[in-house]
């Protein structure tokens, strides 16, 4: 009984490209108690593998988070296989719109301590008690009331290019830091309605549970996140309270939701909201650059990087030696944090 793949990555990729059948790419997550994640993982693997499902799935005591592709002709059987697990029955699946179905070529299901790392070590914390879901319609209604507080649980570079009107940013680089920080920032508003949101819903759902855990009484979270909200307001012709772009980690680095450009070029300050990675591979900084700066600096973030980028490859290589190069993001949130006080959250920053 093989519960793992035994063929090489290269062969698997070739097999995928030879496949002529279209695939549907989708994602889903659900928080629910899994007592034996290993056994659940194996059962899931057997079912998915028999349907030629590819993708990345994380299983933990607290639930499941998955991004997969399914041969389109197996889609109905896939739903049956997934919904066989009682807590997942009827779960909403987010279908990727412009996707060629070639994102995954192997099935990987991993058991992890958490589906979203949260840094919480309090054993009393329980994902069983979460905030109330709001859909697009009730989000709009609730936020018409000026006493409702809206909190963005994404990273600074995501917030910078697009967010909900009056949303409050939690200025930290990591979700694990944002959790306690959001509770501290809101400590005087424990009875006010608080709506939390993120890209797809997985982070804000946890954040809503965390605020309840910290003694807040009126916590909501946006079902399916910005992605689902944007689709719903479009389909139903509702008012759209999101401004700008929804940052996503694919080749597009963001999906435009409204025509408004709310960010500025990090180099010259003109309105711009295109993220790019600095072309100097020793830098690779993620930052916002306007079209004219992109030409002027050849896609680099600074004069210094532009100079390095223009050196022969050999010389660049020797300059890179021994230097670390993690995910760097242009982030002013640390500085802003110091001066930050939430005096009137109802009419907070836009
Ligand atoms: Zn510029
Ligand atoms: Zn650079």
What is the DSSP secondary-structure string of 210-277? Answer: HHHHTT-SSEEEETTHHHHHHHHHHHHT----EEEEE--SSTTS-EE-SS----B-TTT-SB---EEE
pLDDT band of 34, cuts 50, 70, 90: very high
Query: Is 293 in the active site?
Result: no
- d(CA 128, ligand 1 centre) in Å: 47
Mean pLDDT, rounded, for 213-225: 96
Give the pLDDT confidence of 280-310 residue by residue, as tens digits: 988 889 899 999 999 999 999 999 999 999 9
Taking the centre of ligand 2 as the mean of its atom positions, its distance from the CA of residue 300, in whole angstroms, is: 5
Please report which helix (H) or strand (E) contains residue 222, including its range. Answer: strand 219-222
pLDDT of residue 118: 94
- Label residue 79 left, alpha or beta by phi (over 0 means left) and psi (-120 to 50 means alpha): alpha
294 membership: H or E segment, kind and range:
helix 291-296
For residue 167, the 8-state DSSP code is: P
Ligand located closest to 293 CA:
1
Cα–Cα distance between 41 and 36 in angstroms, integer? 9
Q: List, for residues 323-347, the tens digit of each pLDDT value.
A: 655 556 554 443 333 333 333 333 3
The helix/strand/coil state of 169 is strand
Give pLDDT, residue 253.
Answer: 62
CA of 174 relative to ligand 1 center, distance in Å: 27
Of 198, 265, 283, 290, which one is the catalytic site residue? Answer: 198
**Count of Cβ atoms closer than 10 Å to residue 60 Cβ:** 19
Predicted TM-score (pTM) of this structure: 0.81
The residue with tokens 């988070």 is 65
Q: What is the pLDDT of residue 172?
A: 86
Give the pLDDT confidence of 82-132 residue by residue, as tens digits.
Answer: 999 999 999 999 887 666 777 788 999 999 999 999 999 898 998 999 999
Ligand 2 mean position to 295 CA, how many Å?
A: 14
Tens-digit pLDDT profile for residues 178-208: 999 999 999 999 999 999 999 999 999 999 9
> Which DSSP symbol is given to 271?
B
């Amino acid at each position: 009984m093989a519960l793992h793949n035994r063929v090489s990555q290269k062969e698997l990729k070739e097999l995928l490209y030879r496949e002529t059948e279209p695939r549907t790419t989708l994602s889903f997550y659900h928080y629910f108690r899994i007592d034996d994640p290993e056994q659940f993982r194996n059962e899931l693997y057997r079912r998915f593998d028999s349907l030629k499902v590819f993708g990345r799935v994380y299983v933990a005591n607290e639930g499941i988070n998955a991004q997969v592709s399914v041969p389109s002709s197996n889609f109905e059987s896939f739903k049956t296989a997934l919904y066989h697990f009682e807590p997942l029955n009827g779960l909403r699946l987010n279908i990727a719109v412009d996707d060629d179905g070639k994102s995954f070529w192997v099935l990987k299901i991993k058991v992890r301590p958490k589906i979203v790392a949260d840094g919480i070590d309090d054993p009393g914390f329980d994902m069983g008690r979460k905030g109330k879901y709001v859909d697009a319609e009730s989000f709009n209604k609730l936020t018409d009331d000026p006493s409702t507080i809206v909190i963005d649980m994404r990273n600074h570079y995501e917030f910078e290019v697009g967010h909900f009107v009056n949303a409050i940013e939690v200025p930290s680089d990591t979700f694990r830091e944002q959790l306690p920080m959001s509770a501290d920032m809101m400590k005087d508003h424990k009875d006010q309605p608080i709506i939390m949101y993120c890209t797809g819903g997985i982070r804000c759902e946890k954040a809503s549970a965390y605020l309840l855990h910290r003694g807040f009484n009126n916590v909501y979270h946006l079902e399916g996140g910005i992605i689902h909200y944007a689709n719903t307001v479009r389909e139903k012709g509702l008012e759209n309270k999101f401004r700008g772009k929804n940052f996503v980690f694919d080749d597009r680095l963001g999906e435009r939701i409204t025509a408004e450009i709310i960010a500025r070029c990090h180099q010259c300050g003109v309105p711009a909201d295109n993220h790019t990675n600095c072309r100097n591979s020793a830098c690779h900084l993620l930052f916002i650059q306007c079209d004219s700066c992109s030409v002027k600096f050849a896609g680099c973030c600074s004069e210094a990087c532009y100079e390095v980028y223009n050196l022969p490859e050999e010389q660049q290589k020797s300059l890179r030696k021994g230097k670390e190069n993690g995910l760097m993001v242009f982030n002013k949130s640390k500085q802003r944090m110091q001066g930050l006080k939430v005096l009137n959250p109802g009419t907070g920053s836009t």
